[in-house]
Structure 1
């Protein structure tokens, strides 16, 4: 099942196992059960601390459970965890085998103190690059707290179950039989959802922090670069991020970041955070800003109010809040989100195998999505608002060569429709004739660009008509001491490398501002 190179690497990892554990498989007579058995036999042969049993009695076949000898752990896979989930499998083997997870000590204590019984079910696909974060987060929680049970389910293996529970996006998580969340989540975010007192405690921690010299709001490429550049100047630097890595976490392949031939978004986001944490930067994750309060005079402390009630203060601020997927904003979009309306074709495409789907958007992302989906689904209808597709010529040529793809231009989507809580199609208007048309489909992927995360700044500083933060050549905004960088700004070409460069420039501009502006007596020096 595993090639020799992968076996060698896995064997080296398993040398870190300190406590014996068993893999308990529940198998049928089908081909997938035999594939899973072959995988488990390969793993079993790589460590003398692992025991394989095939007498499992789980309800799903094929599946297997990991359990430390002498304890009762709730880590289970109803899947053959290869592809993106192979890392999840390796980490679970290590954690169950006694290797300590790389989590902050206070988060570990928070997990261990969770009271109640938690039965999580995660529906994922092996091609989903967002799913491993959720799988790994919940599995480590199950290792640390015996009251937490987790089963990871490959939707492609259990299609009837997926259809019955109306799972139309991955990752989708159920808790104790009820829908919990759909989309990417980290361990801190999940724990915060379960620990109802965490927000108040976190606000107290933020309020107790001394003022920064540079406070960065947002932890994407722009925010991370700003953090590194500011910290290297030896000044007190903080980063408050809703999700470190930002939009990069939802990016599949990255092939145009200079000096890195190829990587993926989650791996790149992890590298950004590791680089920042190599310096003395105070990283505050899962923090959402809701208000910016400038000082009365240049040099006065600037306040950033967070949604949990905490307030951070700083002599200068860099705004790098990034952007998010743009919505079509028509009836039915919100109602059928994750019930047929989706935004990540690479993640959710396998859930629509053999079905009819649509793609809205004729730029590079839309055409690439249609090409990818054409190899999985039964039929793809691509709708573009403009008269012609806007993607690169090579992509358009590839798209037109596919037999199961239809392209409709001059199409203005007017409504998403559904039955029994699931999408069943969309309506559009022909912008040339004004006639209305309907296309029946079971899924639609929206690929029409991004919108800046700047709503909370309206009325505080200057924004463009598109909601972007207006900046000058130095990254300065309309407020002294407040700078901005990345996709949230008016800088053209929303690219990772450009955001990183602008973040670095904003940090240098902030430093220049600091050395030319008298510090208030309440500020704390580095």
Structure 2
């Protein structure tokens, strides 16, 4: 959205293709580190982004991009589930999506007890028993959030916590403590019509424990939404798009911004800054390559 605004301000003809509105911030309840807001929720911040985008003549289509190629004349062809589009420059800002556990029962119970968004689905588990799987910031924040809704919250981590000290401190200060299982691997999600239990295994003893729960919140990291450009762009080992400090990729005219790129830090403010930078660098490229006025 930031890239779209900056391209529009440069009087470029901009098309924004997106599968869904808002991206990862839509899953985030508490944002305390975006400049200008001491506290704001993810959906509220994205609503403000959306309002600003719509003040400009930006064509927005809610379609999923499935392919990206380059023609012999140097123009790019973007293929989506709604059509095919041609452009002189493309900014890939497709973000990331939740990583899955890939254990029996996970796929079967998505929407019936398995969730990837505590902010979205947490209220559905009021008074119930739930488990959060993960050891990073998102997992601990989900456990903290759910502790105020669910009757009992289990936190399952593979190798302890890899979270900011302030988040760990908040977890420890909860009036209703979260039940922690550190050093455990999730092996199976069980149930009939919906989730009924979670099987976890001790990494050292291999002893299994079955937790009676009604909900599992998977918070084990993210995967870049980069499959559609894998045949044209260079990736790192995490399948993030490789860019230089100016968001340029290995293909002139193709730029990447935000969490889909190989920048070391994944933050909303950094992603927004990347989008602005990519738009300005793309404008510079078009100015020299195509002589736009």
TM-score of the alignment, normalized to the shorter chain, above 0.5: yes
Equivalent residue number for residue 276 of structure 1: 53
Q: Match of 1:263, SS?
A: coil
Contact preservation (8 Å) 1:238, 1:281: yes
Equivalent residue runs for 1:14-93 within 5 Å: none
1:380 to 131, 153, 159: 153
Contact preservation (8 Å) 1:294, 1:479: no
1:266 to 1:246, Cα distance in 2 relative to 1, 3 A = same
**CA offset digits 1:242-288 (Å, max 9, x no partner):** 2232222232232211122222222222221222222232222x111
Equivalent residue number for residue 189 of structure 2: 416
Are 2:91 and 1:314 equivalent residues in the alignment?
no
**CA offset digits 1:341-371 (Å, max 9, x no partner):** 1122233333323322111112222122222
Q: Match of 2:255, SS?
A: strand
2:27 to 244, 250, 268: 250
Equivalent residue number for residue 286 of structure 2: 514
Equivalent residue runs for 1:431-510 within 5 Å: 431-510=203-282
TM-fit CA distance, 1:403: 4.9
1:367 to 1:249, Cα distance in 2 relative to 1, 3 A = closer
C-alpha separation between the residues in 2 aligned to 1:424 and 1:301?
Answer: 53
Unpaired runs of 5+ in structure 2? none
Contact preservation (8 Å) 2:137, 2:162: yes
Equivalent residue number for residue 407 of structure 1: 180
2:6 to 205, 226, 229: 229
Q: Determine which structure has more spread, i.e. the larger CA radius of gyration.
A: 1
Contact preservation (8 Å) 1:378, 1:404: no
Higher helix share: 1
1:267 to 1:354, Cα distance in 2 relative to 1, 3 A = closer
1:302 to 76, 88, 112: 76
TM-fit CA distance, 1:404: 4.6
1:390 to 1:318, Cα distance in 2 relative to 1, 3 A = same
Q: Structure 1 length normalisation: TM-score?
A: 0.53
C-alpha separation between the residues in 1 aligned to 2:38 and 2:199?
Answer: 41
Q: Match of 1:228, SS?
A: helix
**CA offset digits 1:207-254 (Å, max 9, x no partner):** xxxxxxxxxxxxxxxxx1111222222222221222232222232232
TM-fit CA distance, 1:451: 1.3
C-alpha separation between the residues in 1 aligned to 2:149 and 2:5?
Answer: 42
Contact preservation (8 Å) 1:341, 1:446: yes
Deviating 4+ runs (over 6 angstroms):
none
Contact preservation (8 Å) 2:113, 2:195: yes
TM-fit CA distance, 1:453: 0.9
C-alpha separation between the residues in 2 aligned to 1:371 and 1:348?
Answer: 14
C-alpha separation between the residues in 1 aligned to 2:93 and 2:43?
Answer: 19
Q: Match of 2:88, SS?
A: strand
C-alpha separation between the residues in 2 aligned to 1:368 and 1:279?
Answer: 35
Equivalent residue runs for 1:42-441 within 5 Å: 224-284=1-61, 286-296=62-72, 300-308=74-82, 310-386=83-159, 388-401=160-173, 402-419=175-192, 421-441=193-213
Count of residues in Structure 1 that have an aligned counterpart in Structure 2: 292
TM-fit CA distance, 1:397: 3.8
1:398 to 1:293, Cα distance in 2 relative to 1, 3 A = closer
